[in-house]
Structure 1
């Protein structure tokens, strides 16, 4: 038994595979990644950089959007693979160094039919995953799955990170038709592909033959039939002001007959209605019975992708500066976890460097302000030392 477990573990270890990994270690990325030339779009360029603040300048270099108000369309193909019987892990890092106000930070996963030089927003894809931010109202993680050539959005709201530091987004799709979404290695959402996407018709539907019985009483309370309106209830809502007096200068012939202004009646009680009592005939809310949906057919392999062949950055950004890095596609969840083991150190290094930069900028601004004040004082002193111009004597002119 022990031997079997060891053998199983070894087989599982051997079968685990990294399908694609990109760390942008050098400038060779320009040879492997292809820009779209789709007409009618003003595309922006990516540059390889670690940005303005980082932990390890060389290790932290990724692809950064470099031009404001641009579409970006860049992709890379690799050896195709299928996911039947396997986990699919999609993982990458995003650093919105510019403190993004509106723009995408997601990846698209394609099959081999992608025309890289014509990639654009309508190009068919298999999966779209990652953060999207636009103003205070949109700060979410997209998880869109394509099934039978139709894109399906997850029906849950997953909040994304919106600060200026590196964060890692991970999507795991499993052979049991479940999924997990992680940010920085922490689970943010999970569930069933069938339940959290409207990919398949519902298992159950309301019975079209069923109708609520006519004598079904779902009123929890009813008016008390024995309750009677008090005889002194009806009072006018407004009455003439008893304190008002006719102005002394009022002329009935010129101004008409004087009438006192109206005020709210303190004795007004509003419309009367009988008090409510428990309904003795109450049966509770009627629940529409359900039946099996004849259009529903289970798909045990709903998770499976027949062909994955390319990854792309296809997005729009108002303010550029986002850095993408450490793109990983694998069936090895443990490998993906190890790949982000240095994330905390990266984030701490970025924060430390940015804090130092911010401090230096504040001190520089303070020095500049002080210098401007000194210059203003010097100018004032110079003005004071200038001798006044004597006025000419009119008799001399």
Structure 2
């Protein structure tokens, strides 16, 4: 029993550890995120520590030891990231201004006049619940309005032999109902005017989170130029397999990164973890390259084309004895009316206790009738009213006759238009070589305000991007992690979001405790006492053998084996006194020894 309880407790502890692993992971990441470039204040005066320890040693000798105090949570001091290496834009907004950014003053075509203007407000400020004083970002301040803001790059991105890496941070401070937080890389054209930035402004890539209802998206779209027609077509990456919901609902800052490589592969990362990847050639919809053949739009199906795989047998005839008019069910002629059936009684009758209401007007309401109630006479009878034979399936029923189906000898298959060479066919084996872009912008509509953007960075070197991420987002993540609540609070918060966790908590914590208490606090003393006596008797015998190792039992006598304690079974019946039994055995042995001695001397 104790082994089974122990195994159950170990299993419960293991399950609890698996449950709490994701919760405690955030605390572990805090230490990992604190790099050499982060300034951390422990708020402990290390210079005074030595003197204070000496004074405390004297006091500790006279006073009782006190419980150790939890050290204060380290405070992460903010330091604005500095770009190191080649880059095309590096914007942290820590200057506190929108210098270099242009707010659009255009109107959106086709929208109602009252919402057509891009008049949504932008602000540079800290997050509402900032863990890093001094860390500012770009905040979308208006709800139910069009927003558009953009900035020129230091130089256009050429899409030559180096990868494109774009990353930025988003925090949905107030959650998100319906709206986006994606960026657009605006195509380099002579007509590009940031003051007139609208939804139809040409872009090369659109990337970032978007949500409406319960549809959580992470866009990667690029506009591909048809080399034959010069027209642009949007190519959408496949949907990520990962669950994106947390990034929209946890009100934490997340780092979104897009990497597009010269070998036509791409990666989409959130918080430096890949959530989507693939090839521009095979994982975009619609495909970059059209099919080499298409169906002839002028081809038409011939009028005599037969697509029927089966037809009715024209040679079949209805049998002469086939009765199409026979009913599906007929009365059961073998049925007999039950004895006691009350033919003259109605199943329902007027309530004899009912009284016509005083305000009943027969001219207006008609003749009053008592409400119908079950007939009391029918309660004990098998039935009331006219008896009818029950209906049964008609054994002669066949239904309407139909000729059997046979294979169509003229079947020609499903008709399809013939294939012809695709006049618009082309083959672009280097879709990475996209149209250069020269600006980055946010063109958004959102039903939620207070969307926080920060640390926009575009480069062609992955190490440079990772360094910028560590100095910016890594610092922010460390601060948010340091401010995380304790493990118990995290467990409660997790259970609020996922109520099924309460079942796990009960199974892994409460139930093992109850089993331990029941096991430790219950049981029969009598059985325990008996086992103790058995063990003591066995110990005494072992001691005797140790003291007199050469003493042998009298001849003709055999030592009775002691009953093992493990063989003693608990029952509800009265158990024999083990000690008395041992004494009786010893007396019998002594008597036998005396008799043997007398017989030998006699």
* TM-score (ref. length: structure 1): 0.64
SS at 1:336 equivalent:
helix
Q: Which residue of 2 aligns with 1:293?
A: 422
Among 150, 159, 163, which residue is 2:249 paired with?
163
Q: Which residue of 2 aligns with 1:21?
A: 90
Which has a greater percent of strand?
A: 1
Pair 232,99 (structure 1): closer, same or farther in 2 beyond 3 Å: farther
Offset, 1:320: 0.7
Among 96, 103, 127, which residue is 2:172 paired with?
96
Among 97, 114, 130, which residue is 2:208 paired with?
130
Aligned residue pairs, count: 330
Q: Which residue of 2 aligns with 1:191?
A: 279
Using CA pairs under 8 Å that are at least 6 residues apart, name the structure with larger relative contact order, 1 or 2. 1
Q: After the TM superposition, which residues 2-21 of structure 1 pair with which residues of structure 2 at under 5 Å, given as runs?
A: 17-21=86-90
| In structure 1, distance between residues paired with 2:328 and 2:305 | 39
Are the aligned partners of 1:152 and 1:198 in contact in 2 as well (CA < 8 Å)?
no
1:202 pairs with 2:291: yes
Q: Which residue of 1 aligns with 2:100?
A: 32
1:79 pairs with 2:125: no
Summarize deviations over 1:104-154 as a string: whole Å, max 9, x none.
Answer: 110011134431222222222222111111112x32122232234635141
| In structure 2, distance between residues paired with 1:310 and 1:183 | 23
| In structure 2, distance between residues paired with 1:234 and 1:347 | 82
SS at 1:350 equivalent:
helix
Are the aligned partners of 2:203 and 2:437 in contact in 1 as well (CA < 8 Å)?
no
Q: Which residue of 1 aligns with 2:588?
A: none
| In structure 2, distance between residues paired with 1:278 and 1:345 | 74
Shifted more, 164-173 versus 224-233: the winner is: 224-233
| In structure 2, distance between residues paired with 1:152 and 1:17 | 29
Summarize deviations over 1:199-238 as a string: whole Å, max 9, x none.
Answer: 5433332467999999999988888999999958975457
| In structure 1, distance between residues paired with 2:313 and 2:287 | 47
| In structure 2, distance between residues paired with 1:275 and 1:228 | 10
Shifted more, 86-95 versus 187-196: the winner is: 187-196
Summarize deviations over 1:36-67 as a string: whole Å, max 9, x none.
Answer: 12253332222321332x5x514753222222
Among 114, 129, 133, which residue is 2:192 paired with?
114
Are the aligned partners of 1:193 and 1:303 in contact in 2 as well (CA < 8 Å)?
no
SS at 2:98 equivalent:
helix
1:50 pairs with 2:140: no
Are the aligned partners of 1:51 and 1:61 in contact in 2 as well (CA < 8 Å)?
no
Summarize deviations over 1:138-186 as a string: whole Å, max 9, x none.
Answer: 3212223223463514163347442232222222222233333233331
Q: Which residue of 1 aligns with 2:265?
A: 178
Larger-Rg structure: 2
Pair 228,44 (structure 1): closer, same or farther in 2 beyond 3 Å: farther
Q: After the TM superposition, which residues 1-397 of structure 1 pair with which residues of structure 2 at under 5 Å, given as runs?
A: 17-24=86-93, 26-39=94-107, 40-52=117-129, 54=130, 56-58=131-133, 61-81=136-156, 82-112=158-188, 113-136=191-214, 138-146=215-223, 147=225, 148=230, 150-154=232-236, 156-158=238-240, 160-161=244-245, 162-164=248-250, 165-184=252-271, 185-193=273-281, 195-206=284-295, 236=327, 266=393, 292-341=421-470, 346-347=476-477, 349-350=479-480, 353=483, 355=485
SS at 1:133 equivalent:
strand
| In structure 2, distance between residues paired with 1:222 and 1:351 | 72
| In structure 2, distance between residues paired with 1:283 and 1:110 | 54
| In structure 2, distance between residues paired with 1:302 and 1:22 | 28
SS at 2:465 equivalent:
helix
SS at 2:201 equivalent:
coil
Structure 1: which 5+ runs fail to align? 1-15, 250-258, 363-397
CA RMSD in angstroms, aligned pairs only: 4.7
Are the aligned partners of 1:206 and 1:289 in contact in 2 as well (CA < 8 Å)?
yes
Shifted more, 331-340 versus 94-103: the winner is: 331-340
Which has a greater percent of helix?
A: 2
Pair 124,225 (structure 1): closer, same or farther in 2 beyond 3 Å: same
